[in-house]
Amino acid sequence: MIESTTNELNGIDIMGSWVEVGMVIAAVVIGIFMTSQMLKSWMQKKKVKRFSPESKVYRSIHTRVHEFLTEVRIKVDADRALLLQFHNGAEFLDGTSIKRFSLTHESCVVGVSETRNSRQDIKISTFIEMLEHISIDKPTINVTSDLPDCHFKRHLETNHTLVYSLIPIKDARGVLVLGCLLVEWCNWDNVDNIDDDKVFIEIPQYARYIESQLAMGK
């Protein structure tokens, strides 16, 4: 005779109870997952909204960057101060990213032309001499005519830059180079009045100010 099995203990349906517990656990897990996804989506939307171009935070960050460029330009008696930032731009056939840089912020003295149109989406590989200056990681005062014949020299000459100084702009950790702060003198009167000590103090200081503002936009 085959004995029948039972799922009851003291009148309690053991199997049914475990099924109910499993269903409850599954419901809790699903609920936690859905809540976390909704929270993640909400936070992403909030971040996008916060840093969208029309937001107060976005406008405040980039207004301060422009103000810092104007301040450093005035303090070192320069004609132009600008921020160049590195970015990607399409890919080569082997999948390697094409590195480029563009002007994102600029301050010019009255009478000196702005250069934003001629400094957009430029291939970094053609500006090796500029990269060498950036790698020094400290401001130096350089005469454009002293450069060897290269794209960087012709680029500066096209923008009537007689003397320049630049320093890297880094991320909040001080590791990744995001671009550079470039300060330019475009007339000989200002060149003759360059104060080396001011340049070596003010430009690195304002580079740090700009870095702090850019970090707020992450």
Least confident of 2-11, 23-32, 132-141: 2-11
Paired strand residues for 188: none
What was the pLDDT predicted at 17? Answer: 59
67 and 46 in a common domain:
no
| Count of domains observed in the chain | 2
pLDDT at 10: 54
> For residue 29, is it within any domain?
yes
Is residue 3 included in any domain, yes or no? no
Q: Kindly report, residue by residue over 139-194, the tens digit of the pLDDT.
A: 999 999 999 999 999 999 999 999 999 999 999 999 999 999 999 999 999 999 99
Burial of 187 (0-12, 13-18, 19+ CB in 10 A): middle
Q: List pLDDT tens digits, range 197-207.
A: 999 999 999 99
- pLDDT (mean) for 109-133: 95
Contact 165, 142 (CB under 8 A): yes
81/164 same-domain check: yes
Same domain, yes or no: 96 and 173: yes
Looking at the structure, do residues 73 and 167 belong to the same domain, yes or no? Answer: yes
Note the pLDDT of residue 28: 72
Mean pLDDT over the full length of the chain? 86
Task: Identify the CATH number of the domain in which residue 108 sits.
Answer: 3.30.450.40
Same structural domain, 41 and 63 = no
Question: How do beta strands 8-9 and 12-13 pair?
Answer: antiparallel
**DSSP string for residues in 136-182:** H-S---EEGGGSPSSHHHHHHHHTT-SEEEEEEEE-TTS-SEEEEEE
Query: Does residue 182 belong to any structural domain of this protein?
Result: yes
211 and 169: one domain? yes
Token code pair at residue 171: 């991320």
Whether 104 maps to a domain, the answer reads: yes
Domain shared by 79 and 27, yes or no = no
Give a yes or no: residue 4 inside a domain: no
Rounded to whole angstroms, the Cα distance separating 86 from 102 reads 7
| Domain coverage including residue 43 | 9-50
Rounded CA separation 120/20 (Å) = 64
On whether both 180 and 102 belong to a single domain, the answer is yes
What is this structure's pTM? 0.76
Task: Give me the helices (H) in 3-90, please.
Answer: 14-50, 56-75
